[in-house]
Amino acid sequence: MNESRVHALIPAAGRSVRFGGALPKQYCQLLGKPVLSHSIAAVQKHPFVRGVTVALAPDDSLYDKLIRQEFPRVGTVAGGQSRAHTVINGLRQVIEKDPGCEWILVHDAARPCLTPASLGNLLEKGLGSLCGAILAVPVSDTLKQSGDDGFIERTIDRSGVWAAQTPQLFPIRDLVVNLESALSRGIFPTDEAAAMEAAGARPLLVEGDSGNIKITGAGDLALAEFIMQLQLTGE
């Protein structure tokens, strides 16, 4: 693993429509801190990550109140109308402020349970892959395809099927080009790997940890707290 220049980007401009509640999920309290604080701290736990940028909603008023003082060296940028636009805004700022950056590590704001071991494994293997790499876990549940009427249409073969996680690691300039290309064709990737795939790239799958959950619903906060307490006790 060579010491390539890696910068972490955390898209945090979402409105958390599915989560509900008074606060966006990235600002909800988890073990005494906002979820986003845990996610920022998690990506900083490797010496190859030289900097972090958080992409915020243009009208965000909570980051300055709740988080900036804890992470004064973390940069911020305004997000866009979709995740892909938000990521592009972040990538452009990273390149402008750090022209020597080679790799971008994109991590969900609502994945606070990322472990140093998983991050290190991704960087170790991903920096040797020309197309980058993502954390993912093999799907173990039986998968069903539904019809429009809500009844089962078919069972999907789960062999070789993985559930994507973040962080996702890519050469920064390749990701900019491929995201812009996807958007110009009316494609709105739901993760960065999809933009790379649309350009013909085949990123590496690096097996992650099932505890690296994404907080989506309100019940996930309690699960994340349980996972992080186990991590703290070393179990």
Find the mean pLDDT for residues 55-61.
96
Find the mean pLDDT for residues 196-217.
96
Find the mean pLDDT for residues 113-119.
98
Beta strands 75-78 and 49-56, pairing class: parallel
Q: What CATH number corresponds to the domain at position 194?
A: 3.90.550.10
What percent of the chain has pLDDT above 70? Answer: 96
Residue reference for tokens 């709105």: 188
Find the mean pLDDT for residues 83-95.
97
d(CA 100, CA 119): 22
Count up the domains in the chain and report the number: 1
Which pLDDT does position 218 carry in this prediction? 84
Taking only the tens place, the pLDDT of each residue in 5-23 is 999 999 999 875 455 567 8
Taking only the tens place, the pLDDT of each residue in 209-220 is 999 999 999 899
Which pLDDT does position 235 carry in this prediction? 55
Longest Cα–Cα distance in the chain? 53
Taking only the tens place, the pLDDT of each residue in 31-54 is 999 999 999 999 999 999 999 999
Phi-psi region of 16 (alpha: psi -120 to 50; beta: other; left: phi over 0): left
Say if 119 falls within a structural domain: yes
Taking only the tens place, the pLDDT of each residue in 140-196 is 999 999 999 999 999 999 999 999 999 999 999 999 999 999 999 999 999 999 999
Question: What DSSP character marks residue 211?
Answer: T
Say if 214 falls within a structural domain: yes
Q: CB-based contacts of 44: which residues, under 8 Å, 6+ apart? A: 8, 52
Asked whether the predicted pLDDT for residue 76 surpasses 60, the reply is yes
Say if 68 falls within a structural domain: yes
Say if 71 falls within a structural domain: yes
Asked whether the predicted pLDDT for residue 55 surpasses 90, the reply is yes
Average pLDDT over the chain reads 94
Say if 151 falls within a structural domain: no
The least confident of 21-30, 62-71, 144-153 is 21-30
Separation of CA 128 from chain center? 20
Where in the sequence is the domain holding 200, given as residue range(s)?
6-133+164-233
Say if 147 falls within a structural domain: no
Say if 141 falls within a structural domain: no
Say if 139 falls within a structural domain: no
